[in-house]
Amino acid sequence: MSLDEAKKHWEEQTVQPVLNKFKERKAEFTSPSGIPLPRVATPQEMDYMEQLGFPGEYPFTRGVQPTMYRSRFWTMRQYAGFASAEESNKRYRYLLDQGQTGLSVAFDLPTQIGYDADDPMSMGEVGKVGVSISSLRDMETLFNQIPLEKVSTSMTINAPAAVLLAMYIAVGKKQGVATKDLRGTIQNDILKEYVARGTYIFPPAPSLRLITDIFKFCQKEVPNWNTISISGYHIREAGSTAVQEVAFTLADAIAYAQAAIDAGLKVDDFASQLSFFFAAHNDFLEEIAKFRAARRLWAQIMRERFGAKDPKSWMLRFHTQTGGSTLTAQQPENNIVRVAIQALAAVLGGTQSLHTNSMDEALWLPTEKSVRTALRTQQIIAYESGVGDTIDPMGGSYVIEYLTDEICKRAMDYIKKIDDLGGALAAIEKGFMQNEIQDSAYRFQKDVENKTQLVVGVNAFQAEEKMELERLRVNPAIEQEQRTRLASLRQNRDNQKVNELLATLENAARGSENLMPLLVTCVENDMTLGEVCGVLRKVWGEYQPPIWG
């Protein structure tokens, strides 16, 4: 009996009698991206089986390292930062004591858009949603007693990424750490800010100049640094599907690669320092397939589109964060389960580092206990589940390979559309990506309201409950303390030198020289983040989003 005949026999003799007796659970079965799900996957549905390959080999569908987690677990990097540098430093040291293996810094909104804590624009936002960093002295406090030669640090910062990287380099120097020994990542992904997040400062052209300046500088001076973390996470959190997350992220990556090449860099000189950042949401199988598809597509893009020769240039290395938008304020303990499922999908998908959200993040700043539980989730997966003992344990699963194939094809269709529009920047300016994301977000919310998409504790299985979790609040005195520190800094620094550097920076911004060495000098002489960004705002202006309609 052939496979087709066996499948037909199974449908007629086994499946249909059951379905005749009971109604189907859903009218149709599709993934959240709209990919039809077969009742049972079979080999004929796997067009890309020949591309499965081996871990550590092109096209890296099964992982970028030949040994993956057998030789080293993913980096457990909990995203944290709140209030002052002192408070955040205490949290970082606590997490390191609990077994975290890398740092991930969250900055407050004023820092993210280049304002000092004492700027009128910062009022009421200092230390909220992240740590307040206005000067090198804040950065020194943030990493006090944390040896930068031993710890890898990720900084979620975009528009002023060059300034924060300059501060990190300066802190390393003060600790006696050679710049070449610093390890970590800056997000530095401005295109997704225009698309999905909104913490931009400058227009696209000077923003891309800063990014390529960082590429050039780090290639020689900070070779172990990931110069950009091209982010699908915020695209997904804004409401995109998994397919759109892959497509729009890679389209942005294509734009960055082309900008670097146009600036005179050779692809193999910078490509190995590119990294990526994805979300992990609840649909377990689609999420695993998404990570595998992204690796395959990027390998093909780098080799075939950009002509990269170095296998390291073909590798898509990525950090994952579990989905903040999937967390519920209702029955927050349920979020522990959601996070565990999402984290397991990221690990089975081959992530290089991972942040697991805390159960109470939909309510307030996570407490030490909830952060510890989130970290323990990763540690249980690593040390107790056994899923890291075999490389790509889901590889070869008919449905995983089918979904991987489908995501590749559908994401490439999007990338071709974006190419036809003139590339990622043109697509953003025309509102294409934004509209696609908004439509997906609307459809999902409509499904929740219609109860065709069930969310446990929200529109199904609800319960009356009294909230008894601990709560962590940011002390409102933090803002005044930051203002006082800045006043003292400005009074005691060499203001003549600062004024000279302000003029030098303005001239350099009007020219074409690489700004990174000058930025390091500026922060070492106690120029503040707001002062640096203020000069660049004066020269370059601020981005104004287009109005569509």
Residues 502-519: tens digit of each pLDDT: 999 999 999 999 999 999
Q: Per-residue pLDDT for 44 more than 70?
A: no
Q: Per-residue pLDDT for 50 more than 90?
A: no
Is the same domain home to 420 and 526? no
| pLDDT of 350 | 98
| pLDDT of 46 | 58
Is the same domain home to 444 and 486? no
If we measure between CA atoms, which residue out of 445, 61, 44, 403 comes closest to residue 243? 403
Say if 546 falls within a structural domain: no
Is the same domain home to 184 and 305? yes
Q: Per-residue pLDDT for 526 more than 80?
A: yes
| pLDDT of 299 | 98
> Per-residue pLDDT tens for 450-466?
999 999 999 999 998 88
| pLDDT of 549 | 54
Q: How far apart are CA 467 and CA 58, in angstroms?
A: 50
Mean pLDDT along residues 371-385 = 97
Is the same domain home to 271 and 364? yes
Is the same domain home to 426 and 504? no
- Helix intervals (H) in 278-320: 284-300, 311-314
For the entire predicted model, the pTM comes to 0.93
Is the same domain home to 185 and 119? yes
> Per-residue pLDDT tens for 205-215?
999 999 999 99
**Pairwise pLDDT comparison (361 vs 470), residue with the higher score:** 361
> Per-residue pLDDT tens for 231-250?
999 999 999 999 999 999 99
Angle at 114 between CA 111 and CA 202, to 5 degrees: 135
Contact 377, 340 (CB under 8 A): yes
Is the same domain home to 288 and 379? yes
Q: Per-residue pLDDT for 89 more than 70?
A: yes
Is the same domain home to 116 and 222? yes
Mean pLDDT along residues 94-101 = 92
Say if 116 falls within a structural domain: yes
Element (H, E) at 226: strand 225-226
| pLDDT of 7 | 76
Q: How far is CA 90 from CA 106, 153, 377, in A?
A: 14, 16, 21
Confidence of residue 472 (pLDDT cuts 50, 70, 90): low
Q: How far apart are CA 247 and CA 432, in angstroms?
A: 12
- Helix intervals (H) in 327-397: 334-348, 368-383
Residue that finishes a domain, picked among 397, 432, 450: 450
Q: Per-residue pLDDT for 53 more than 60?
A: yes
Residue that finishes a domain, picked among 400, 430, 450: 450
Say if 351 falls within a structural domain: yes
Confidence of residue 27 (pLDDT cuts 50, 70, 90): low
| pLDDT of 30 | 92
- Helix intervals (H) in 362-466: 368-383, 398-420, 424-429, 432-450
Confidence of residue 17 (pLDDT cuts 50, 70, 90): confident
| pLDDT of 88 | 94
Say if 34 falls within a structural domain: no
Say if 458 falls within a structural domain: no
Share of the chain above pLDDT 70, in %: 96
**CB atoms inside a 10 Å sphere around CB 462:** 11
Is the same domain home to 417 and 489? no
Residue that finishes a domain, picked among 401, 430, 450: 450
Q: The CATH number of the domain where 422 resides is what? A: 3.20.20.240
Say if 337 falls within a structural domain: yes
| pLDDT of 158 | 97
| pLDDT of 301 | 98
| pLDDT of 38 | 86
Is the same domain home to 419 and 505? no
Q: How far is CA 252 from CA 346, 427, 527, in A?
A: 22, 10, 32
Rg (CA), the chain: 24
> Per-residue pLDDT tens for 176-232?
999 999 999 999 999 999 999 999 999 999 999 999 999 999 999 999 999 999 999
Residue 437's identity, in one-letter code, is I
Say if 11 falls within a structural domain: no
Say if 434 falls within a structural domain: yes
Q: Which domain holds residue 53?
A: 49-450
Mean pLDDT along residues 360-389 = 95
> Per-residue pLDDT tens for 259-284?
999 999 999 999 999 999 999 999 99
Q: How far apart are CA 396 and CA 393, in angstroms?
A: 8
Comparing 19-23, 58-62, 175-179, the range with the smallest average pLDDT is 19-23
Name the domain count of the chain: 2
Mean pLDDT estimate for the chain: 93
Is the same domain home to 207 and 82? yes
Mean pLDDT along residues 375-398 = 96
Tokens of 98: 């609990």
Confidence of residue 341 (pLDDT cuts 50, 70, 90): very high
> Per-residue pLDDT tens for 312-336?
999 999 999 999 999 999 999 999 9
**CB atoms inside a 10 Å sphere around CB 517:** 15
Q: How far apart are CA 274 and CA 290, in angstroms?
A: 19
Is the same domain home to 96 and 147? yes
